[in-house]
Structure 1
Amino acid sequence: MSPSLPRPTLADRLQAEWLQGGPLSAALLPLSWLYRALLALRALAYRLGLWRVERLPVPVIVVGNWIVGGAGKTPTTLAVLEQLRVRGLRAGVVSRGYGRDAAGVCVAGPTSTARDLGDEPLLIHRRARVPVAVGRDRVAAARALLAAHRDLDVLVSDDGLQHWRLPRALTVLVFDERGLGNGRLLPAGPLRQPSQPPATHQIVVYNAPRPSTDLPGFLAERRLAGAVPLADWWAGRAADMPALLALRGQPGLLACAGLARPQRFFDMLAGLGLDFEPRPLPDHARLDPLPWPDNAAGVLLTEKDAVKLPPQGAGAVPVWVVTLDFLPGAGFAAALDAHLQRLFPSRWTHD
């Protein structure tokens, strides 16, 4: 007899109804109306000048989304940072630092860990090699980063779209295939804010095979770039596809993913012909203790998980880090360039 599947939890049921609606979502509508009213009061406070958007000495690009869960903000942030680097602009990153132990503002340093910064900010710091500061108050984090790195030209906020005190010269809005879900605000739906018409200083990226809203935007492409042993990844060595394909046919592999939507990672691995046991973990899950047995033949990890596992903590099991290429779509670079020319007219040079 095959083992029975675990019964869906209340959270599983709610997330399913966030896509298409249902009785549980409908029952939560009064709370959504209350949430909408609170958002309207907050917007009114800003219009009346009771609260205000702060000022910073450099432009801020906010990468965010309207829907809860992993829509692809971090890979989009990395793509924006690469474009800024190519254009010779010195960028820093501010983020909330979800899942870290520390409180207050923390500026990344040479010995910073995921417990200091959070997994995604540390990944950005390592991958993009840019200064990073984290804090619930994104404005305070921005000021601390600018004080520590006075040569920065621009800041990128990984998330922070709903952090209204943070100024923004450009918004990069990210959607995945869920689009707007059932169109309802939290908690009856997945929306963190009401949907809005297209804005002037906004770029939309769809981390999906096709557009999932009516907003015009660019279709991103996600693909696996390859694999590299954990120790080599920490040493800064690049992953390559032959190393990943060499794992085809190896028995006993586990694939672990502490992501909001781990099935994407598993599907991409399976699409390359790898055989493995999928082991989904909670988003931002810690790897202490290790979530695999001591006798595992090998483990495949995402980079988001690898930043939480220094090589000395991996034990004797071989661990490979599987990296991702994220291409934000044809025309994205030109659209971003147009905004950068607006923000930096005196220093812009055409190719």
Structure 2
Amino acid sequence: MAAGGLARRLPQRWYERRLALALWPLLPLSLLFGALVGARRWLYRCGLLRSHRLPVPVIVVGNLTVGGSGKTPLVLWLVAKLRARGWRPAIVSRGYGGRGDRGGSGARVLPVVATADCAVVGDEPLLLARRSGVPVFVGRDRVAAARALLAAHPECNVIVADDGLQHYRLQRSVELAVFDQRGVGNGWLLPAGPLREPLPRLSSVLAVVWNGRPEQALAGAARKLPQFAMRLRGQRFIAASGEPRSCDADALRGRRLHALAGIGDPSRFFRQLTALGLDFEAHPFPDHHRYRAGDLAFAEGAVVLMTEKDAVKCAALVTGEAWVLPVEAVIDTPPGGRALFETILEKLHGRTPA
């Protein structure tokens, strides 16, 4: 397989249950990557690389795998729960895909408002700012972003970090690891597999949240962790144009539908539409895809369906009818177990850094 073809097919090959033959040449690089990851974590644990504690607790919502797994809906769920209990949360994020995420210094910190340009701040932070109702700051250096946020909003008393499980410069009180139903794939580190860190890293997280039913179980110490199932619930579509219009799936049945999704696993969105009884032509795109007008050049009279994450980037490119399906996370409590939010609160009150 040519190098360019392999690069395009890596995500699909990663999530095969056995290491694909085409990935075997990458194993030495995965071993080297694992050594570097382990050395970096050891340097932070020994204090040779400095980490920083904020004056407020920090909850990190991250993952071990590359790409999206459902962190953004979980962050929104967590922020809503915190606000309902009287906390004053705020969100920090890297701002992946925005211009503020570029450059080697990593010193640029930006506040995110609902009218921001997603090309500058990133698609997920803009969605978080529009949906959460709390301050959102982005920066490659999450410590600098959090400090700038607290300086601008001193009333905030808890920080939720969207991603950042591997950003050890920022000390944290709680870590949540999110997986989607693809699980850990072949279980190998990058670039032969999808893992950013080895699976034993999960031994230090508070809980694992599964976005959908897992196709495989976690092994070793991770099996003993509290594990929660998350469902993304969405029934009603809203107009992508921003007009105060909405409709249900019944209004879309029998029409010429084109569904697009540029998320970590586009099939999640397509399965959700299928569950709503819709027939459509699916158009999957890479995560954080930068849409162009040609990507949405469908036949005249076609109706476009998209995720909220895609809508912040490409709603203005649609010339015809387009609808967005907002979703909210629902976290199930295991039978006889403790609710995820109560587990988080217990750890927060202890303020024991992960």
Gaps of 5+ in 1: 1-7, 347-351
Q: Which residue of 1 aligns with 2:320?
A: 317
Quick one: which of 211, 214, 219 aligns to 2:229? 219
Q: Which residue of 1 aligns with 2:10?
A: 14
Q: Which residue of 2 aligns with 1:299?
A: 304
CA contact (8 A) 1:253 1:296 kept: no
For 1:141 and 1:199, locate their aligned partners in 2 and report how far apart those are by CA, in whole Å: 27
Q: Which residue of 1 aligns with 2:55?
A: 57
Mark the CA change 1:174 to 1:91 in structure 2 (over 3 Å): closer, same or farther: same
Deviation of 1:197 after TM superposition, in Å, equals 6.7
Deviation of 1:290 after TM superposition, in Å, equals 5.3
Kindly report which structure 2 residues correspond to 1:244-263, keeping only aligned pairs within 5 A, or say none.
Answer: 244-250=249-255, 252-263=256-267
CA contact (8 A) 2:68 2:263 kept: yes
For 2:33 and 2:74, locate their aligned partners in 1 and report how far apart those are by CA, in whole Å: 28
Could you tell me which amino acid in structure 2 is paired with residue 327 of structure 1? V
Could you tell me which amino acid in structure 2 is paired with residue 65 of structure 1? N
Q: Which residue of 2 aligns with 1:3?
A: none
CA contact (8 A) 1:90 1:151 kept: yes
Q: Which residue of 2 aligns with 1:101?
A: 99
For 1:224 and 1:134, locate their aligned partners in 2 and report how far apart those are by CA, in whole Å: 27
SS for the counterpart of 1:99 is: coil
CA contact (8 A) 2:249 2:277 kept: no
Q: Among all aligned residue pairs of Structure 1 and Structure 2, give the percentage whose two residues are the same amino acid.
A: 46
SS for the counterpart of 2:341 is: helix
Kindly report which structure 2 residues correspond to 1:1-351, keeping only aligned pairs within 5 A, or say none.
Answer: 9-19=5-15, 20-102=18-100, 103=102, 104-109=108-113, 111-196=115-200, 199=203, 202-210=206-214, 212-214=217-219, 215=223, 216-231=226-241, 234=242, 243-250=248-255, 252-289=256-293, 291-293=295-297, 295-309=300-314, 313-314=316-317, 316-330=319-333, 334-344=339-349
Q: Point out the structure with the larger helix share.
A: 2
Gaps of 5+ in 2: 103-107
Aligned residues: 331
Mark the CA change 1:304 to 1:191 in structure 2 (over 3 Å): closer, same or farther: same
TM-score normalized with structure 2 length: 0.86
> Which deviates the most, 205-214 or 185-194?
205-214
Mark the CA change 1:333 to 1:124 in structure 2 (over 3 Å): closer, same or farther: farther
TM-score normalized with structure 1 length: 0.86
For 1:145 and 1:152, locate their aligned partners in 2 and report how far apart those are by CA, in whole Å: 9
Deviations 1:103-127 (A, max 9, x none): 5211113531212211001111111
Could you tell me which amino acid in structure 1 is paired with residue 95 of structure 2? G
Deviation of 1:13 after TM superposition, in Å, equals 4.0
Mark the CA change 1:316 to 1:111 in structure 2 (over 3 Å): closer, same or farther: closer
SS for the counterpart of 2:137 is: strand
Could you tell me which amino acid in structure 1 is paired with residue 331 of structure 2? P
Deviation of 1:96 after TM superposition, in Å, equals 0.8
